[in-house]
Structure 1
Amino acid sequence: MTRFASICRALFLISAVAATLSACNKGTGADGAAPAASGPANAASAPPVGVTTVTAVQRDLAVELTATGTVAPLSSVDMRPQLTSVVSKVHIREGQFVKAGELLFTLDSRTDEAKVAQAQAQVARDQAALADAQRQLTRSRELLAQNFISQGAVDANQATVDAQTALVASDRAALAAARVALGYARVTAPSAGRAGTINVYPGSAVQANTTTLVTITQLDPIAVAFSLPQRHLADALAALPGGGAPVSATLPEGASKLEGRLKFVDNLVDPASGTVKVKAVFDNPGGKLWPGAFVNVAMTARTLKGAVVVPQAAIIQSARGDIVYVVQDGKAQARPVQLVHAEGENAAVTGVQAGDKIVLDGRQNLRPGAAVVERSGDGAARPAGAASSAGKKASAP
């Protein structure tokens, strides 16, 4: 009896194993592998996904670059004397705006005035000697014509005249040099600008090419220096011959905004940062831009003509690249796109056409081929194909 029970138990286990294997074979293919479920088929059989859409539009999109710039004067000159002397008079005040050629300082010039007078006297003396030599030459030529003197005497007089003429020319050059030195006693502004701190006063001794009297800084026009990424170097260089790309500068407090033009691109790309230094020039009649100040700079590098623009938030980064979901016949279709340029909330892309309905909200719940139902701004469901108010706002240029 015990043996019979053991045999029955063994037969029961064999039957159970056979039933299990049969059930497994029904769920596998001929090669023993489970058949993969079709993604679009499952997506199509799933309930519709609520989404909001926007319409891709075609328009011109400006490629605008933003950076932090530093205000820099076009010229800033440290005024130094060109002779060692003493300041006689200061003709300007600190912070005064001066014109080109305006007198700034007068130095003690009595020594140079005496040198000019001495040079003038030397010129007068040598001119008198030259006049006498010329008379002697004329007389010797008359005597030579009458055969009273030899040709050698005439030649000697001619040499005296030539030497005296050269001496007078040398005296005049010395007089001009003395006048130049005398002119250094008057320190004038090389260009229009604003005077900074005055470092000397009447009676101050100054050293030639060493002592800084004052700094004259040009404020109008003025420049703003900033850096551009290397990828935009070609756009900046292309814009220079046409007057430069438009650039706007805004003070940090946002009180004022000035418009200028790109005027300079450096000849070297910084290998550490991958940027190139550039300068834009601004009219600054009110002195709103001050040297050394920081400003927010925006420059239009170029304009993408007829670009297809979609909201940047609608772009999904996948393992195979960027995609967007397009609603077509009530279903979501994945479209690979290539980002051309992103500007704020908008992005110019290729891979979709103007008028395509792009999924904005709800894209994270979609699969290719999934049925969709569009929602209005208040969350109410609407038939696929109706334009949502949220989509209209997002796609507005």
Structure 2
Amino acid sequence: MSEHVPSRSARRLPWVWIVVILAALTGGTYWWLSDGGQQVAPKKPQGGMTPMVPVRVQAAVSENLDIYLRGLGTVTAFNTVTVRSRVQGELVEVLFKEGESVKAGDILARIDPRPFEVALDQALGAQQQNQAQYENAKRDLQRYQTLRKQDSIAPQLLDTQAALVRKFEGLIKSDQATVDNARLQLSYTTITAPIAGRLGLRRVDAGNLVNANDPAGVVVITQTQPIAVMFTLPENDLPAVREPMLGGQILAVDAYDRADMNRLAEGKLSSIDNQIDIATGTVKLKAEFANQTDALFPNQFVNIRMKVRTLQNALTIPAAAVQQGNRGAFVYVVEADDTAAVKPIKIGDRSGERVVILDGIKVGDRVVLEGTDRLRAGAKVRVIGAPSASGEPNNAARRPAGASGSARP
């Protein structure tokens, strides 16, 4: 019986069909994922237009710019005095109202004067007794001098009488000092204001016994007209302050409130401390304010702006337009064809929201203030609130993009 052996072509047939089926499945899957066999292309803006970046710009201008230094300060009374009694006694009268303004010499309170009046009378009585003995001793000395010329008494008696007269002269001087001291103690029973200023709260009431030089005192007076402000500046700003002061220039100082919004008073710089604080790297300065309206109050926190100089015809732009990159400071400038360009700049002084540009741009260049986050060099821009360079409104049909954008510095 003969054995049937399949041919080689018959053995290969199943594998061929397997390959064909797999190829058909792969093609069908690709056709389905490619949206009906059509090739998926990247979407482009309609009409072949690239989107414009909306920005806000401001032109660089030449102007006179006042340079200010800023610091944090504390209002300090020009003089602060704790009014104390200089003698001990009963406080019989308080003649001031809390918070009122007083002048130097105004009577504030009185202490019972009777014990001091008695002491003054005693001193005057002792002075009169010694004065009488002194006058009698002088008359005796005159008699002794006459008798001595007649050689009627011994020289020793004349010398003794002369010494007695000098003794009473010394007693008279001592008595006069005692009388003066008694009068002085009596004057201390009337408490007066040593300086002009504003009174604080009363610290003792009438009827209490007050002691001499009591630390609490009777009341505190603060001189608020004029008033001072102590503030600090970084040591790097010290040359900008010292140079005009050495030249005799008076530097204007403005005090603003805690929010740095409202100007409270105008004054002038009066002095600079003689050393720099090594812990903070700052120097203390003192400014004086007339404070006629009492806008400044002792121990009040204020913001200080001090004008140190004025730059003439300086090229300035808003500080918000300045960007920082790997190569330093730069700005985006909108060219005449409404494309953005990157311009490296060299920055000078800054005052408030304006910054001086030493190099990189010129007067009239439009620098970008807002919209820089999506901006690149060469990108088309749409200036908000202004017509384009061609005179067409910015919301008109957008023009084709120019050169491709480069990486941001």
Normalised by the length of structure 2, the TM-score is 0.70
Q: What pairs with 1:218-233 in structure 2 (closer than 5 Å)?
A: 218-233=223-238
Residue number in structure 1 paired with 2:7: none
Kindly indicate whether residue 159 of structure 2 is the aligned counterpart of residue 155 of structure 1: yes
Structure 2: how far apart are the matches of 1:209 and 1:286?
Answer: 34
Does the residue aligned with 1:382 lie in a helix, a strand or coil? coil
Structure 2: how far apart are the matches of 1:299 and 1:199?
Answer: 39
Q: More deviation in 191-200 or 325-334?
A: 325-334
- Which one has a bigger Cα radius of gyration? 2
Residue number in structure 2 paired with 1:217: 222
The answer on whether the counterparts of 1:54 and 1:358 sit within 8 Å (CA) in structure 2 is yes
Residue number in structure 2 paired with 1:144: 148
The answer on whether the counterparts of 1:232 and 1:301 sit within 8 Å (CA) in structure 2 is no
Structure 2: how far apart are the matches of 1:52 and 1:206?
Answer: 72
The answer on whether the counterparts of 1:373 and 1:382 sit within 8 Å (CA) in structure 2 is no
Deviations 1:161-217 (A, max 9, x none): 222111211111122122222222111101112222112222201122124211112
Residue number in structure 2 paired with 1:281: 288
Does the residue aligned with 2:191 lie in a helix, a strand or coil? strand
Return closer, same or farther for 1:55/1:288 CA change in 2, 3 Å cut-off: closer
The answer on whether the counterparts of 1:236 and 1:265 sit within 8 Å (CA) in structure 2 is no
Residue number in structure 2 paired with 1:205: 209
The answer on whether the counterparts of 2:334 and 2:368 sit within 8 Å (CA) in structure 1 is no
Structure 2 letter corresponding to 1:157: Q
The answer on whether the counterparts of 1:375 and 1:382 sit within 8 Å (CA) in structure 2 is no
Q: Shift of residue 243 of structure 1?
A: 6.7
Structure 2 letter corresponding to 1:113: E
Structure 2 letter corresponding to 1:270: D
The answer on whether the counterparts of 1:340 and 1:348 sit within 8 Å (CA) in structure 2 is yes
Does the residue aligned with 1:301 lie in a helix, a strand or coil? strand
The answer on whether the counterparts of 1:56 and 1:310 sit within 8 Å (CA) in structure 2 is yes
Kindly indicate whether residue 88 of structure 2 is the aligned counterpart of residue 75 of structure 1: no
Structure 1: how far apart are the matches of 2:190 and 2:361?
Answer: 72
Return closer, same or farther for 1:208/1:52 CA change in 2, 3 Å cut-off: closer
The answer on whether the counterparts of 1:100 and 1:192 sit within 8 Å (CA) in structure 2 is yes
Kindly indicate whether residue 319 of structure 2 is the aligned counterpart of residue 312 of structure 1: yes
Does the residue aligned with 1:360 lie in a helix, a strand or coil? strand
Structure 2: how far apart are the matches of 1:228 and 1:332?
Answer: 39
Deviations 1:280-319 (A, max 9, x none): 2222233232223333432223333443323324433232
Does the residue aligned with 1:295 lie in a helix, a strand or coil? strand
Structure 2: how far apart are the matches of 1:130 and 1:159?
Answer: 11
Structure 2 letter corresponding to 1:217: T
Residue number in structure 2 paired with 1:89: 93
Kindly indicate whether residue 189 of structure 2 is the aligned counterpart of residue 185 of structure 1: yes
- Percent identity over the alignment is 34
Alignment gaps of 5+ in structure 1: 1-46, 385-397
Structure 2 letter corresponding to 1:341: D
Q: Shift of residue 332 of structure 1?
A: 7.9
Structure 2: how far apart are the matches of 1:105 and 1:208?
Answer: 14
Q: Shift of residue 262 of structure 1?
A: 2.0
Structure 1: how far apart are the matches of 2:355 and 2:284?
Answer: 27
Q: What pairs with 1:214-293 in structure 2 (closer than 5 Å)?
A: 214-240=219-245, 242=248, 244-252=250-258, 257-293=264-300
Kindly indicate whether residue 173 of structure 2 is the aligned counterpart of residue 169 of structure 1: yes
Does the residue aligned with 1:291 lie in a helix, a strand or coil? coil
Structure 2: how far apart are the matches of 1:143 and 1:293?
Answer: 82
Structure 2: how far apart are the matches of 1:223 and 1:101?
Answer: 23
Q: Shift of residue 257 of structure 1?
A: 3.2
Kindly indicate whether residue 345 of structure 2 is the aligned counterpart of residue 337 of structure 1: yes
Q: More deviation in 250-259 or 190-199?
A: 250-259
Q: Shift of residue 263 of structure 1?
A: 2.0
Does the residue aligned with 2:162 lie in a helix, a strand or coil? helix
Does the residue aligned with 1:198 lie in a helix, a strand or coil? coil
Structure 1 letter corresponding to 2:136: D
Alignment gaps of 5+ in structure 2: 1-49, 392-409
The answer on whether the counterparts of 2:272 and 2:285 sit within 8 Å (CA) in structure 1 is yes
Does the residue aligned with 2:368 lie in a helix, a strand or coil? strand
Which of 349, 352, 355 does residue 347 from structure 1 map onto? 355
Return closer, same or farther for 1:90/1:52 CA change in 2, 3 Å cut-off: closer
Residue number in structure 2 paired with 1:128: 132
Residue number in structure 2 paired with 1:357: 365
